[in-house]
Amino acid sequence: MVARFSLSPQQASADISQYQQIVPSNAVLDPSTKVYVRAEGFQPLFLKDAFVWMRQGRETGDLSVLPCESVPIPARRADAEIMMALIGGYETRTALSIRYQSLTSAEPSQRVICPHHIVDHGPRVHVRAWDDRRRIFTDFVVGRILSAEPEPSYPWVDQMADTLWHETVTVRLAPHPGLSATQRAVVEREHCMHDGEVAVPVRKAMVLYVLDGLGLLDAVREGDGTPDATRGVRCLDAAALKPLLPALITEPQDYSPRAGIHVAGEEKGAMP
């Protein structure tokens, strides 16, 4: 305790004594080693995320902590000048004229955007913004923005108009029906399920990324939310989530910034 928390020996002793008073059955003194050890019926009093504990322990040089390795992902570029422009545009509520290279077009396009959130979902970083060209709120991969300049003549479109960002939907997961009883039990435990399912509230604008991360994107888009059994889980509300995926874009939102009129439609937020 002295080494780990930079305490004095006197303070460490006082803390152990106080802990013993609160939960006397958690730790017992081993007479042979003069060390407090975990008792058989130990129940943690101060719960802490194990991954946070391991990371902090390694960062402080505690080699007794079990190492935790992250899967390496190729670095995605987020140019400092572009980030400064996005941050500055949001801070001053000034639209930005950007040059953007979409992977659906051979050449870059010029767009006017009003950014309102940066989203990091692992494989890439994107900016959620109003897109004047398509008249919708959508996502732009930050690394594909080639240039960004203030466009003060364009009226700012506030994030409050982004209904898909502010509205949430529940992603309900359950064990795959093809699993055995013991397999279902371990999946329920792994995903902290209760009564055979778990419900995760998600912004409608982020359903695509959540399903993709769970390996359920194709199953929801093309079927009933039941993927290969090796995924372990299935999506119980695929029918409700499917219309939110980019493959099913309907009419975009119609916004006339110069007239100040906003008409909500059913745009489903595809990434250009």
- In this structure, which amino acid lies at residue 57? G
The boundaries of the domain holding residue 52 are 9-60
**Last residue within a domain, chosen from 163, 195, 220:** 163
More confident position, 264 or 247? 247
Q: Are residues 103 and 146 in the same domain?
A: yes
Q: Are residues 52 and 92 in the same domain?
A: no
Residue 4 within a domain: no
Q: Are residues 118 and 178 in the same domain?
A: no
Residue 148 within a domain: yes
Residue 86 within a domain: yes
SS3 content of the chain, % helix, strand, coil (to 5): 35, 25, 40
Residue 75 within a domain: no
Q: pTM to 2 decimals?
A: 0.70
pLDDT one-digit tens code per residue, 214-253: 999 999 988 888 888 888 999 999 999 999 987 433 333 3
89-103: average pLDDT: 95
Q: Are residues 32 and 90 in the same domain?
A: no
Distance separating alpha carbons of residues 116 and 237, to the nearest angstrom: 29
- Which distant-in-sequence residues (6+ apart) come within 8 Å of 268 by Cβ? 164, 243, 244, 245, 246, 248, 249, 250
264, pLDDT greater than 90? no
Residue 257 within a domain: no
pLDDT one-digit tens code per residue, 115-165: 999 998 877 889 999 999 999 999 999 999 999 999 999 999 999 999 999
- ∠ CA(141), CA(86), CA(165), 5° rounding? 65
Residue 239 within a domain: yes
**Last residue within a domain, chosen from 110, 128, 163:** 163
Q: What is the pLDDT of residue 272?
A: 52
**Predicted confidence band of residue 92 (pLDDT cuts 50, 70, 90):** very high
Q: Encode the chain in three state secondary structure.
A: CHHHHCCCHHHHHHHHHHHHHHCCCCEEEECCCCEEEECCCCCCCCCCCHHHHHHHHHHCCCCCCCCCCCCCCCCCCCCHHHHHHHHHHHHHCCCEEEEECCCCCCCCEEEEEEEEEEEECCCCEEEEEEECCCCEEEEEEHHHEEEEEECCCCCCCCHHHCHHHHCEEEEEEEECCCCCHHHHHHHHHHCCCECCEEEEEEEHHHHHHHHHHHCCHHHHHHCCCCCCHHHCEEECCHHHHHHHCHHHCCCCCEEECCCCEEECCCCCCCCC
27-54: average pLDDT: 87
Residue 68 within a domain: no
Lowest mean pLDDT of 28-37, 144-153, 249-258, name the range. Answer: 249-258
Specify the residue for token string 């059994």. Answer: 229
Strand partners for 96:
113, 150
More confident position, 23 or 76? 23
Residue 272 within a domain: no
Query: How many folded domains does the chain comprise?
Result: 3
Q: Are residues 153 and 218 in the same domain?
A: no
More confident position, 87 or 46? 87
* pLDDT averaged over every residue in the chain: 86
Q: Are residues 185 and 209 in the same domain?
A: yes
